[in-house]
Structure 1
Amino acid sequence: MATVRNLKIKTSTCKRIVKELHSYEKEVEREAAKTADMKDKGADHYDLKQQENVLAESRMMIPDCRKRLEASLADLKELWLSWRKQMRRKAQNSKMLTAP
């Protein structure tokens, strides 16, 4: 049974995941710039390798985040359709009760 509370929860979940996705995208930009800067300055090979690992980990989080967002959006859509169906049934029932 879909409720307004459940719809708010699912909507908040989607919003949170979108913020998380944007955060990872910004992190990838920052880490890529830092890696490029380290390469330009001729940083130590070990430090550069560590920075590349950090960048790779950040990049791996984006597809995972997108999958979670797609799943959350699908859940929200399903719940919303269920709620809409319930509201239509309620409206029909109330019309039938008030009809002469």
Structure 2
Amino acid sequence: MPPPSKLAIATSSVQRLVKEEASYHKELVQQEARIAKLEKGSDDENAEYQMKQERKALEETRAVIPTVKERIQAALTALEQQLEINKAEGAPADTEQVAKAKEVVAAAYTAIREVS
């Protein structure tokens, strides 16, 4: 089996980062729900400590999201450059790999717009 091409590597990198960002947003929603549940009241003697820990986790998650967005943007730029290199080298534009790369580029731009 031949090693993956630079285009395949760049494509999978963008794809992974988009999934990672989506998981952080999902985690953010879950943490907010846990905080809301704790705010409603709890008979647990550790409720205050749990609330503090949940808020800390929430802030950490919020802090990571902009960094992931920057990494997506950098990986997206690299993927677009790789697509241009591929095109300049005369590689066929209708290959499965190129089609997948273009789909990932579109998905990344959609994810960036939805979050911004």
> What is the aligned partner in structure 2 of residue 48 from structure 1?
51
Tell me the equivalent position of 1:97: none
Greater Rg by CA:
1
Is 1:86 equivalent to 2:89 in the alignment? Answer: yes
Give the number of equivalent residue pairs. 85
Quote the RMSD (CA, aligned, Å): 1.7
TM-score (norm 1): 0.78
CA positional deviation for 1:8:
0.6
Identity among equivalent positions (%) equals: 31
Per-residue CA deviation, residues 20-75 of structure 1 (Å, 9 max, x unaligned), is: 01100000000011011111115632221111001111111111111100000000
Q: What are structure 1's unaligned runs of at least 5 residues?
A: 89-100
Specify the alignment match of 1:39 in structure 2: 39
Matches within 5 A, 1:1-100: 5-42=5-42, 44-87=47-90
Q: Distance in 1 between matches of 2:57 and 2:48?
A: 14
Where does the alignment leave 5 or more consecutive residues of structure 2 unmatched? 92-116
In structure 2, give the amino acid aligned to 1:55: L
Bigger share in helix: 1
Q: Distance in 2 between matches of 1:5 and 1:48?
A: 47
